[in-house]
Amino acid sequence: MKQLATLNHFFFKYRYRFLLGILFIILTNYFRILVPQLTGYVVNNVVHAIDGTKANPLLNKEKQYDFLVKATIEKIDSQSLKAKIFWCSIILLLLALISGFFMFLMRQTIIVMSRLIEYDQKNQVFNHYQQLDTGFFKVQSTGDLMSRISEDVSRVRMYTGPAIMYFINLAAILCFSVYFMLQASPKLTLVALSPLPILAVTIYLVNTIINKRSERIQSLLSSLTTNAQESYSGIRVIKSFVQEKAMLGFFTANSEDYKKNALGLAKTEAIYFPSMALLIGISTLVTIMVGALDVVNNRGGTTVGTIAEFVLYIQMLTFPVSAIGWTASMAQRAAASQKRINEFLETKSAIEDPKEKLQPPLNKSINFKNVDFTYSNTGIHALQNFSLHINAGEKIAIVGKTGSGKSTIAQLLLRVYDPQTGEIMYDGKPLTSIDLAYLREGISYVPQDGFLFSETIHNNIAFGLAAATEQTVTAAAQLACIHNEISSFKEGYKTMIGERGVTLSGGQKQRISIARALIKKPSIVIFDDCLSAVDAKTEKEILNNLNLYLQDKTAIIITHRIFSLLEFDKIIVLDDGLMVEEGTHSELLARNGFYTEMYNRQQQNEHSTA
């Protein structure tokens, strides 16, 4: 439960709303509690009119009424029975209206407060997610991240809103009613209240079972949806492998499991209200019985009116008391959810913005000094004792087989990860002292798997630049040789990408990601194998365009193909995390090693396909 204490600063933030809410809860219950007293008075008057000896309203008048009720009684006590009943009915109606009005205000304050907290918390969690390093996202599943920001936050809201409201409500009504019940008859109070703890505990237990079952159902439902979703996405594979029947069988089995659990839940829920009604019925019955015996034997000043009053008190207490069981299990669930949220909020990013926030020019020298890097989640030693010096404005190519560590170099340059040993420096300044946002804004990076958002093509390209105009977007698309294809779409740059729009080919996606990178005005350009799905002719065209664009920039082009078009100042060859060769195209060819072998193989392929 101490997990929930982390929410206290939210309550403090909304303290005025919260206090106002508490005041409204108290007022609601105050006006409700007057109803039984006035009803008791009316009943006693009626009984007295029928049989004067059995009930004496004058005796009852000495009883400790609330001062408002007392004042009312003093006003109308001398009038005729008809007038008394008439006025009391009017006042009862008024009381219901007033307490209803305050109940409206109480929900308006407390429930609204919980929505505001939910909003704050969602933003807090989302913002924290964004601060965390990429390594974190590699380890955590997307589903888990999603459920913490949606489901867990909603459960916490059930605590900050309804649970707290019902709890204060119970406290208020309990204080008021027990006080006036004790005034009327301590003995009947005991009789009427004794079944209530049993009611609270029963409801708590039943609720816990219900919650467990619903959770199970929730997870079954989510696997069912995932199952269906995957089938729809992979429908082409399913059909071509004629696996429709197998998939249906799989789905039906999941569905069956879900149905069984849902029916079980319905059964548990079905005993909920009857058992509640039974307990309240018993409580009411016993109170009437004990009260009636007292009236008959003329004991303890109990009147028929007192019995009526108590029956109303029991009715009034039933819902709040049963809510306490519900509240307790809500708070428990909220605590579990808050614990999961806190786990993430307490996770510190492995990459932190440095205090110095240096902003050195990025297109000057870049230095790798004996860099060693191991991916902590897999233990793969991706880069070993890697040293490289890049001069201002140089064009560097990195070649090597898949898995040789090429992309890792790009990740380290962007400070997505920090190397375990060694140092990376921009213009002589350690990477770890450079302003992170400044660094990443200064680098145009085209990742290997260019991710595109389900948005328009325009917005995808303009993503890297807040103030992108139509002209700049078009210019970037022209540089990336994708403009003509975009123009051929019916809606041009307004075409949606993804589920609700066009399906792009791999090469088109790559070129849109290139356009997205080129729209920025960076100091460094890093292309991570982003021309792999582009045909040779277009590739040549793009590289031609780039020659001009890259003039004043440092460029690092990762590829597993060797371009003869771009003049590279230096080509480095990686193998299994080690730099095996380094030099210009002609130098490397002269060495007749790794590079030459790669080059020859590629020449052969090109000739055989041509």
**Is the Cβ–Cβ distance between 410 and 533 less than 8 Å?**
no
If one asks whether residue 378 binds ligand ADP (CB under 6 A), the answer comes out as: yes
Residues 109 to 148: which contact ligand ADP by CB under 6 A? 138
- Other CB atoms within 10 Å distance of the CB of residue 43: 20
CA–CA separation, 11 vs 16, rounded Å?
A: 9
* Closest to 204 measured CA to CA, from 45, 321, 38: 321
**Could you tell me how many residues of this chain bind ligand ADP (CB under 6 A)?**
14
Mark out the alpha helices in 185-243 (DSSP H runs).
Answer: 186-193, 195-233, 235-240
If one asks whether residue 380 binds ligand ADP (CB under 6 A), the answer comes out as: yes
- Other CB atoms within 10 Å distance of the CB of residue 212: 13
The stretch near ligand ADP (CB under 6 A) out of 32-40, 275-283, 377-385, 451-459 is: 377-385
Nearer to Mg ion, 414 or 479 (CB): 414
If one asks whether residue 559 binds ligand ADP (CB under 6 A), the answer comes out as: no
Least spacing, CB of residue 540 vs ligand ADP, in Å: 23
Residues of this chain that interact with Mg ion (CB under 5 A) are 407, 448
Using CB under 6 A, pick the residue from 8, 127, 141, 377 that binds ligand ADP.
Answer: 377
CA–CA separation, 610 vs 593, rounded Å?
A: 26
Nearer to ligand ADP, 134 or 225 (CB): 134
CA–CA separation, 122 vs 136, rounded Å?
A: 19
Least spacing, CB of residue 478 vs Mg ion, in Å: 27
Least spacing, CB of residue 411 vs ligand ADP, in Å: 7
Least spacing, CB of residue 373 vs ligand ADP, in Å: 9
* Closest to 142 measured CA to CA, from 216, 207, 222, 246: 222
Element (H, E) at 10: helix 8-13
- Other CB atoms within 10 Å distance of the CB of residue 200: 21
If one asks whether residue 375 binds ligand ADP (CB under 6 A), the answer comes out as: yes
CB-count exposure of residue 53 (10 Å: 0-12, 13-18, 19+): exposed
Least spacing, CB of residue 388 vs ligand ADP, in Å: 15
* Closest to 443 measured CA to CA, from 367, 515, 526: 526
CB-count exposure of residue 229 (10 Å: 0-12, 13-18, 19+): exposed
SS3 state at 522 = coil
Residue 380: name its binding partner from Mg ion, ligand ADP, none (Cβ under 5 to 8 Å by kind). ligand ADP
The beta strand positions in 486-565, using DSSP E, are: 524-528, 554-559
Least spacing, CB of residue 251 vs ligand ADP, in Å: 33
Nearer to Mg ion, 140 or 448 (CB): 448
Residue 403: name its binding partner from Mg ion, ligand ADP, none (Cβ under 5 to 8 Å by kind). ligand ADP
Nearer to ligand ADP, 400 or 507 (CB): 400
Residue 306: name its binding partner from ligand ADP, Mg ion, none (Cβ under 5 to 8 Å by kind). none
Least spacing, CB of residue 510 vs ligand ADP, in Å: 15
358 DSSP 8-state letter: B
Element (H, E) at 339: helix 304-345
Residue 601: name its binding partner from ligand ADP, Mg ion, none (Cβ under 5 to 8 Å by kind). none
CB-count exposure of residue 408 (10 Å: 0-12, 13-18, 19+): buried
Amino acid at 121: Q
Residues 185 to 204: which contact ligand ADP by CB under 6 A? none
Nearer to ligand ADP, 406 or 483 (CB): 406
Least spacing, CB of residue 402 vs ligand ADP, in Å: 4
- Distance set, CA 151 to CA 117, 163, 338, 577 (Å): 14, 17, 11, 42
Residue 404: name its binding partner from ligand ADP, Mg ion, none (Cβ under 5 to 8 Å by kind). ligand ADP
Nearer to Mg ion, 303 or 407 (CB): 407
Nearer to ligand ADP, 339 or 560 (CB): 560
Residues 400 to 419: which contact ligand ADP by CB under 6 A? 400, 402-408
CA–CA separation, 289 vs 43, rounded Å?
A: 17
**Which residues share a beta bridge with 497?**
502
- With CB atoms as reference, the residue minimizing the distance to Mg ion is 407
If one asks whether residue 594 binds ligand ADP (CB under 6 A), the answer comes out as: no
Token pair recorded at residue 321: 């008391």
Residue 483: name its binding partner from ligand ADP, Mg ion, none (Cβ under 5 to 8 Å by kind). none
If one asks whether residue 447 binds ligand ADP (CB under 6 A), the answer comes out as: no
- Distance set, CA 305 to CA 46, 72, 201, 313 (Å): 9, 17, 31, 12
Nearer to ligand ADP, 63 or 406 (CB): 406
Residue 442: name its binding partner from Mg ion, ligand ADP, none (Cβ under 5 to 8 Å by kind). none
Using CB under 6 A, pick the residue from 22, 156, 362, 382 that binds ligand ADP.
Answer: 382
**Which residues share a beta bridge with 320?**
none
Least spacing, CB of residue 134 vs Mg ion, in Å: 14
Least spacing, CB of residue 369 vs ligand ADP, in Å: 19
Residue ranges binding ligand ADP (CB under 6 A): 138, 375, 377-378, 380, 382, 400, 402-408
